[in-house]
Structure 1
Amino acid sequence: MPLLNLTPHEVTVFADGTRVVRRYPAAARPVRVPVTRVCVGLVDGVPLVRQYYGRAALPEVCPGTWYIVSALVAAAHPERRDLLVPTDLVRAADGTVIGCRALDCHPGGEGVRRTVHDDGDADGTTEPWPG
């Protein structure tokens, strides 16, 4: 099952937070959610805005293909069951995110769990989520 990274960053998956098991290169044309900001007032001279989020230009659903996206993209598309978000982040000593330990199915992907095995292979199994 292919996993395609649609983010502007390389996604590095670690086992135990130290050993790299898989790298997904950054997308040449990353998928982003359009944002419209409307000024609704000022507080202490600072603009207050209301943000309205649009829908990202995602590729069509392709059976057997998973897409790695940002949490914002996943939240904008709750109907999609093929979107995965990096989670359980791994950070360098200075706090910079350098990777993740897992890929999270956002709420639209309920019932699907992605597992990266020690040999670097990823699989998808359908299981009911707890709770």
Structure 2
Amino acid sequence: MILNLTPHPIRLYWGEREDGSDDLDAHLMKVYEPEPTPARLATNEVSSGMWPVLVEFGHAQNLPPKQDGYQYIVSLVVALALADRRNDLLVPYREVRNASGTVIGCRALAQPV
């Protein structure tokens, strides 16, 4: 089972889906609706009032422990922070863009290593 721990729906399209269309249903394979609480990295401002602001990224929040048979769609930053410890995290890959260039989905889910 795949659960979406991002704050927005993840539309997964078949590989033949072309960019440039505003039709959200064309070549749509599946939509992963978001779970109520997204996984995020904790942040701590090390310095404020400076430019650039220095930010320390900490532990993942709201990420369930590994469970057999479960994979989790998370943001790339969460997946990369935990890539050496978790093999159950997936990220959207090969983005699909609409006519104005906005990302509306992906053609694959990837596991960062």
Same fold judged by TM-score > 0.5?
Answer: yes
CA-based RMSD of the aligned residues comes to 1.5
Give the drift of 1:95.
1.4
- Secondary structure of the 1:74 match is helix
Q: 1:64 aligns with which of 69, 90, 93?
A: 69
Say if 2:85 is the partner of 1:77.
no
The one-letter code matched in structure 2 to 1:26 is P
The one-letter code matched in structure 2 to 1:54 is G
Deviations along 1:36-85, one digit per CA (max 9) or x if unpaired, are: 2223775xxxx222221111131011111110000011012121000000
Q: Where does structure 2 lack aligned partners over 5 or more consecutive residues?
A: 18-25
Alignment: residue pair count: 102
User: TM-score with structure 1 length normalisation?
Assistant: 0.72
What is the correspondence of 1:9-20 to structure 2 with a 5 Å cutoff? 9-15=8-14, 16-17=16-17, 18-20=26-28
Identity of aligned residues (%): 41
User: C-alpha distance in 2, partners of 1:49/1:38?
Assistant: 8
The one-letter code matched in structure 1 to 2:56 is Y
The one-letter code matched in structure 2 to 1:92 is N
Larger Rg over CA atoms: 1
User: C-alpha distance in 2, partners of 1:55/1:40?
Assistant: 21
What is the correspondence of 1:30-109 to structure 2 with a 5 Å cutoff? 30-39=38-47, 42=50, 47-57=51-61, 58-78=63-83, 79-107=85-113
- Secondary structure of the 2:79 match is helix
8 A contact 2:3–2:34 mirrored in 1? no
List 4+ stretches of structure 1 deviating above 3 A: none
